C-alpha cells in the first residue's frame, strides 16, 4: 500500500494515472496527498491537470501561487517537455500553450519562447473559448514586448 505521506510516490502515481488512462480524478486524488509538501511540484501538476480539463482559471490561480513561492528550476524543464509531449498527441489542447507561455515567462525567464507560446494560444483559440485567459495573454504579451524592448536597448 502506498504511504499517503510519500509525496514523491504520489506525484509519480498521478503522472501514471494521467499517462496510462487520462484518469484525471485519480491523478487529482493522488496529488491531494501532497498538499502539505513544501515542494511546489504537486501544485504545478494540479495546474496542468486543471488546464488539461479546460479550467484555465484554476490553472492560472495555481501557477500564480507557485510563482509567488518560487519555481523549482529543475522541474520547469520537465513540465515543459511533458506538456509538449501531450500537445504532440493531442494538438487540440491549445490551452496548454497558455500554460507553456506562463511557465516559460515566469518560471524560466524565456521571454521569446513565452511570447511565441502566448501567440500560438491566441492564434489557435476559437472565438469565445478561454476569454479570460485570452485577455491575460494579450496583457502578458504587452508586458513581454516592453521587457524585450528594454533588454534590446540595454
The pTM score is 0.92
- Integer-rounded Cα Rg, in Å, for the chain is 16
Quick one: CATH architecture of 38-153? Alpha Horseshoe (1.25)
Q: Answer yes or no: are the C-beta atoms of 24 and 46 closer than 8 Å.
A: no
For residue range 93-105, what is the model confidence (pLDDT) as tens digits? 999 999 999 999 9
The pLDDT > 90 percentage for the chain reads 79
For residue 107, CA distances in Å to 55, 70, 80, 104, 144 come to: 20, 8, 10, 6, 14
Amino acid at each position: 500500500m502506498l504511504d499517503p505521506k510519500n509525496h514523491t510516490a504520489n506525484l509519480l502515481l498521478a503522472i501514471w494515472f494521467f499517462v496510462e488512462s487520462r484518469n484525471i480524478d485519480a491523478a487529482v486524488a493522488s496529488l491531494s496527498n501532497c498538499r502539505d509538501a513544501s515542494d511546489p511540484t504537486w501544485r504545478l501538476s494540479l495546474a496542468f491537470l486543471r488546464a488539461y480539463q479546460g479550467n484555465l482559471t484554476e490553472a492560472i490561480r495555481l501557477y500564480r501561487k507557485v510563482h509567488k513561492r518560487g519555481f523549482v528550476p529543475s522541474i520547469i524543464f520537465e513540465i515543459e517537455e511533458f506538456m509538449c509531449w501531450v500537445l504532440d498527441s493531442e494538438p487540440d489542447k491549445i490551452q496548454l500553450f497558455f500554460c507553456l507561455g506562463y511557465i516559460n515567462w515566469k518560471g524560466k525567464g524565456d521571454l521569446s519562447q513565452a511570447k511565441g507560446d502566448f501567440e500560438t494560444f491566441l492564434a489557435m483559440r476559437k472565438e469565445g473559448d478561454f476569454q479570460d485567459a485570452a485577455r491575460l495573454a494579450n496583457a502578458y504579451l504587452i508586458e513581454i514586448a516592453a521587457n524585450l524592448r528594454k533588454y534590446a536597448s540595454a
